[in-house]
Structures are given as C-alpha cells and as structure tokens.
Chains A and B, each alone.
Chain A
C-alpha cells in the first residue's frame, strides 16, 4: 500500500516535471527547445544562455511563471475540491461551492468598473476582498441556520446567486464594451497575468493549506459516514470543519484573485484521482494536487496556442476537455458497481 503511494507520488512528480519542461518550450515566439532549456538552466544557476535578453525574458519572465502558476492553480483547486467533497459529503462540491468565486468576481468588478479604491487597489486585491466577504457571509448565514453541512451548501448557493446578480448588474449598467470583455475574460479564468510574484504568493498559500489538509487526512476519512459518525470516532467535528473550510476558502480566494475562477478542475480531478488512489485521504490529497497541476499545465498550453494568435480563457478549455473526460470516468465507475 505504501509502495503504491510512493509509486503514484513519484510518477506524479515526474509527470509534472516533464509537463512543465515541455510546456515552456511551446509558444508563439520561435525559440528552439535547446535554447529554452539553456535559458531556464542559466537562471537556475547552471551554464550560460545564448539567448538575447528579450527572448530570454519571454522564456523566464513569461512562459515559466505562467506554466508554474498553471501548476500551482491546478494543484490548489484540485486539493480544495477533494477536501470540499469529503467534508460536505457531496460529490458535486467544488472549491467555489461556498461562493468564493462569485464574491471574487463582484470584488473585481467593483474595482475595475466602479473604480472602488480609486486606482490604489488592484483587480486581484478587490477580488480577494470580495472572496473573503462572500465566504464570511456564508459562514455567518450557515451558522445562524444551525451549521449543518447541507445548510453550509445552501448558504453557499444563496451567496453565489447574490454575488452573480451583483456582478451582472454592475457590468450591464456601468461598464463599456471593452471593460466588459476584459472582466468576462477574467471571470472565465485566465493565467495570462502570471508573473513571479503571483507564482510565489500562490505557491506559498498552496504549501500552507496542503500541510493543514494533510494533517487532517485521517479526520477527513472519518467523515465518510457523516458528522455524527466522525464525532463517534473521536473527531472534534466543529473544529475540524472550521479549520478545513477556512483553509480551503483562503487558498481558493488567493487562486481566484490571481487567475480568475477556473472551473472544472476542482470538481472533476478529485473524482478522476479517486479512481487511481481509492478514497483514503493520505493518498488522495497529494496525488490529486499532482494530477490537478499536470492537467492545468497542459490545458493552459492548449488555451494559449490552439486559436493562435488569440487566447482562449483557460476556464473554457478546462470544461471543453473536462466534460468528455468526466463522462468517461462516470461510465467506468458505473460499470464497476
């Protein structure tokens, strides 16, 4: 069992490294594979790059952070999705189920369209604020309703509707066509704004939340038969729920503010991964982070190249590819039972 875990983790890491190494060589600028790798190696302290500074910048300051941000976002969204599905005991749960993404969109729109913050606040900061506001509202609402897990889900649905309405209202009444297009693009999820700062921010949040979730791996196992059963197994249900909801909401808020609401990864990748690892969270959580990372690296590569020179929002591509993959997984699952 442990051997299998090591094999899966090792395989996942190798797949991720290979994916990143290949993805950075792909792009509209015509730079040879060898030149790209030499450039990356030189920045990592090994050898010299022969590339001109401009082309070197394309590799190290554009493609590299973007690919890494894709990996971090994919890992984080898949992780949050897996935790949410187990905690809420709902296979349809995803990282956005608590209204985090809708709150983020309202926050972003408030900054970009309404000019809240007077230019001193960035779109990402606005989105982050909106995400936390929405999450706080959901927690307050669900607490007042008795804090059972289905109340949390219903509160999330309510918040999602409210903030979507606010976003649509603001965009339709106040935004010009150009701003609308920009906001829409961001809402659908895009990694085009990636830089090293965002990569480090998101990677830091991912590392923190991954540690918290792995520390609660057996606790999450205990939720399989519901909260009362978990309590019977010695779990402090209220505390575990609060910690895990806050941790995943925080990571989701950071990721959404940096890359928009990239859908589907958090919903489907945990299901795909469970087919590989089984339901034990000690294995599921790290492996689903890896599969999410590999998936989003490739999907983003596709998103920025397939309709060259235009770029498709990565959230659109995740769904276009993800839906058929999901159907296949569901079919295989049905045959098994």
Chain B
C-alpha cells in the first residue's frame, strides 16, 4: 500500500473514500483554489458554498481528477488520483456539470449509456451488465418512459436528470455536482435535490442557494477566493456574520427544527 502524501499534520488521509489534502490550483499565475482540505465521510452530502469565482467548480474538477492539482494531493482510498488512473477514477467518481450540451443526435438511453464507457474495454460490445446498469439508472432518475426520446427534446430539468442518470450508470461511490439546479424553476430544483439526497452515494454539490444547501446538505464547506472560510453543519456555518463576510449581504438566520432558514434583508433604507 502506498503512503498518501499527507505529512502527519492536519487530518490524516483515510484509507477509504475521497480526500483532498491541502490542494491548490494555479491558473495563469492566479490561485483559484488555495490549500483546501476536505475529508468525505461515506454516504454524506457535502455542500460547497461561496460567491461566483470562489473556486467551487475548480475544486470539484480537482476532486474528479480531470484537472491536476498545482500543489497538494487528492487521494481515493489512500492513493493519489494520478496513480489510480483516469479510467479507474471514472469507475468510482462521477461528475455532473453545470450545463451540458451536445450537437450529436442521441436518445436519452444513449446519453445514460455513456456512463458505462469507463467500465468497457475497447472492441468489446456493451454487455448485459451494462444494459442493466443503464436501465436501473434511468429508473432511479424517473426517465424510463423518456428512454427512447431524443435528448434534444428534453426540458432543462430533464436534461439534468439524464446527466444524473448517466452519472449513476457509472456506478460511482462518489458523485460530484456543479450547481445542477441552475436555471431550473423551484419545483424542478426541489425534485432534483430530492433525487440526489436519496442516492446511496457520497455527494459533493456546489450550490448557490443557501436555503437549499441548508435543507439538503449534511455538511457545508464555504469557499472565498479559493480558501476555506467555514466548515461544519449548516447550523454551525450559516450565521449572519459569515453571510455578511463572504457574500457582503445582511441576513437573519432562524434556527428551524432540522436546519437553519435564511432571510435576506434589503440594503439601505431610503429606497421605496
């Protein structure tokens, strides 16, 4: 067993699951992510919060291994991602991007079947196992009766469900989502987050809406200019002081049973 790169201090790299140890990413001389550490507990849902440009998307890409870290290391079951390899990583970690588009004419089932690619070898046709995984993923995402339809005929919410089904077809244990509820109306946002919350996987989800994050996440990590500024349960993290510090807005926080509820306050007083 190889030793992970954590040098004793801070949190030790666990032997199971996904772990980011003081990861940083520099692009064009600018630190986009600056020394973030994140240990995921199996089955939990972690919300990534922070204003635009705070490094949420970049952190997710580092966690997925599609972007190399400048310093620090992301480990999966104790092994650094570059050592695990791209295909093996994709069999464990699935990502859902913020916005997806294709010009290719694909049915919903074909889109979901893309998730089987990391499990297939070159030259080998899709197996019965692949077909079953796709069918189950479609069912879980509630898209079974849409399977034969063209992906282009789907609504925004259905497209995101199709991407989640594709991610599930990868049979991941870790699922990373980058603002999957963007551009959806409130009903579809709640539908989608209910679907995600019920999945039997460890989830990291970047979100903009603090109330949704409070409702659906077990734990929150707040980023600002690439650095962790708060980490903990929604009740611990979402305080008026933190919201003021990170987002620069005033808010009242009510501790409802289960999760906090945030009410934002209008600025100034002179405006009608």
**Residues of chain A contacted by B102 (CB below 8 angstroms):** 89, 224-226
In whole Å, how far is B94's beta carbon from the nearest beta carbon of chain A?
7
In whole Å, how far is B170's beta carbon from the nearest beta carbon of chain A?
8
- B105, A89: Cβ atoms under 8 Å? no
Given A225-B101, A232-B94, A279-B110, A215 and B66 contact (CB-CB distance below 8 Å) = no
Q: Which of B88, B114, B120 has the most CB of A within 10 A?
A: B114
Q: Scoring B residues 142 to 184 as 1 if CB is less than 8 Å from chain A, else 0, what string do you get?
A: 0000000010110000000000000000100000000000000
**In whole angstroms, how far apart are the Cα atoms of A241 and B154 in the complex?**
30
- B105, A231: Cβ atoms under 8 Å? no
- A233, B115: Cβ atoms under 8 Å? yes
B227 within 8 A of A: no
The one of A219, A224, A231 in contact with B66, judged by C-beta atoms closer than 8 angstroms, is A231
**In whole angstroms, how far apart are the Cα atoms of A280 and B126 in the complex?**
12
The one of B87, B100, B120, B152 in contact with A229, judged by C-beta atoms closer than 8 angstroms, is B100
Given A221-B114, A282-B125, A89 and B64 contact (CB-CB distance below 8 Å) = no
In whole Å, how far is B196's beta carbon from the nearest beta carbon of chain A?
17
**Residues of chain B contacted by A216 (CB below 8 angstroms):** 122
Given A221-B117, A232-B90, A337-B150, A279 and B125 contact (CB-CB distance below 8 Å) = no
**Residues of chain B contacted by A221 (CB below 8 angstroms):** 114, 117
**In whole angstroms, how far apart are the Cα atoms of A90 and B86 in the complex?**
25
| Contact residues on B (Cβ < 8 Å of other chain), bracket | 20 to 34
Given A86-B104, A231-B86, A222 and B114 contact (CB-CB distance below 8 Å) = yes
CB closest chain-B residue, reference A91: B103
Q: Which of A214-245 contact B (CB under 8 A)?
A: 214-219, 221-222, 224-226, 228-229, 231-236
- A218, B153: Cβ atoms under 8 Å? no
**Residues of chain B contacted by A222 (CB below 8 angstroms):** 114, 117
**Residues of chain A contacted by B95 (CB below 8 angstroms):** 232
User: Interface residues of A, CB < 8 Å — how many?
Assistant: 32
- A278, B86: Cβ atoms under 8 Å? no
A32 within 8 A of B: no
A2 within 8 A of B: yes
Q: Scoring B residues 112 to 132 as 1 if CB is less than 8 Å from chain A, else 0, what string do you get?
A: 001101101011010000000
In whole Å, how far is A273's beta carbon from the nearest beta carbon of chain B?
12
**Residues of chain B contacted by A89 (CB below 8 angstroms):** 102-103
The one of B104, B105, B117, B152 in contact with A218, judged by C-beta atoms closer than 8 angstroms, is B117
- B110, A234: Cβ atoms under 8 Å? no
- B106, A235: Cβ atoms under 8 Å? no
- A279, B94: Cβ atoms under 8 Å? no
**Residues of chain A contacted by B86 (CB below 8 angstroms):** 231, 234-236
**In whole angstroms, how far apart are the Cα atoms of A233 and B100 in the complex?**
14
**Residues of chain B contacted by A90 (CB below 8 angstroms):** 103
The one of A214, A233, A274, A278 in contact with B90, judged by C-beta atoms closer than 8 angstroms, is A233
Given A218-B117, A224-B102, A274-B105, A2 and B150 contact (CB-CB distance below 8 Å) = no
The one of A214, A215, A233, A337 in contact with B114, judged by C-beta atoms closer than 8 angstroms, is A233
**Residues of chain A contacted by B88 (CB below 8 angstroms):** 234
The one of B97, B101, B105 in contact with A279, judged by C-beta atoms closer than 8 angstroms, is B105
**Residues of chain A contacted by B111 (CB below 8 angstroms):** 224
**Residues of chain A contacted by B118 (CB below 8 angstroms):** 233-234
**Residues of chain A contacted by B106 (CB below 8 angstroms):** 224, 279
Q: Which of A38-83 contact B (CB under 8 A)?
A: none
**In whole angstroms, how far apart are the Cα atoms of A37 and B106 in the complex?**
44
B89 within 8 A of A: yes
**In whole angstroms, how far apart are the Cα atoms of A337 and B88 in the complex?**
37
The one of A2, A214, A224, A231 in contact with B125, judged by C-beta atoms closer than 8 angstroms, is A2
**In whole angstroms, how far apart are the Cα atoms of A232 and B100 in the complex?**
13
Q: Which of A91, A218, A278 has the most CB of B within 10 A?
A: A218
B79 within 8 A of A: no
**Residues of chain A contacted by B87 (CB below 8 angstroms):** 234
- B90, A224: Cβ atoms under 8 Å? no
- B125, A228: Cβ atoms under 8 Å? no
**In whole angstroms, how far apart are the Cα atoms of A16 and B87 in the complex?**
38
Given A278-B105, A280-B110, A215 and B117 contact (CB-CB distance below 8 Å) = no
- A232, B64: Cβ atoms under 8 Å? yes
Q: Which of A222-274 contact B (CB under 8 A)?
A: 222, 224-226, 228-229, 231-236, 274
CB closest chain-B residue, reference A90: B103
**In whole angstroms, how far apart are the Cα atoms of A5 and B56 in the complex?**
44
**In whole angstroms, how far apart are the Cα atoms of A156 and B115 in the complex?**
32
B19 within 8 A of A: no
- A278, B110: Cβ atoms under 8 Å? yes
Could you pull out 6 A-B pairs where Cβ atoms are within 8 angstroms?
A: A222-B114, A226-B102, A233-B117, A234-B89, A278-B107, A279-B104
Nearest 5 A-B pairs (CB), nearest first? A234-B90, A234-B118, A234-B87, A231-B66, A224-B104
Beyond the given pairs A89-B102, A90-B103, A337-B150, 9 more chain A to chain B contacts, judged by CB atoms under 8 angstroms and listed by A's residue number, are A2-B125, A216-B122, A218-B117, A219-B117, A225-B101, A228-B66, A234-B86, A274-B105, A337-B153
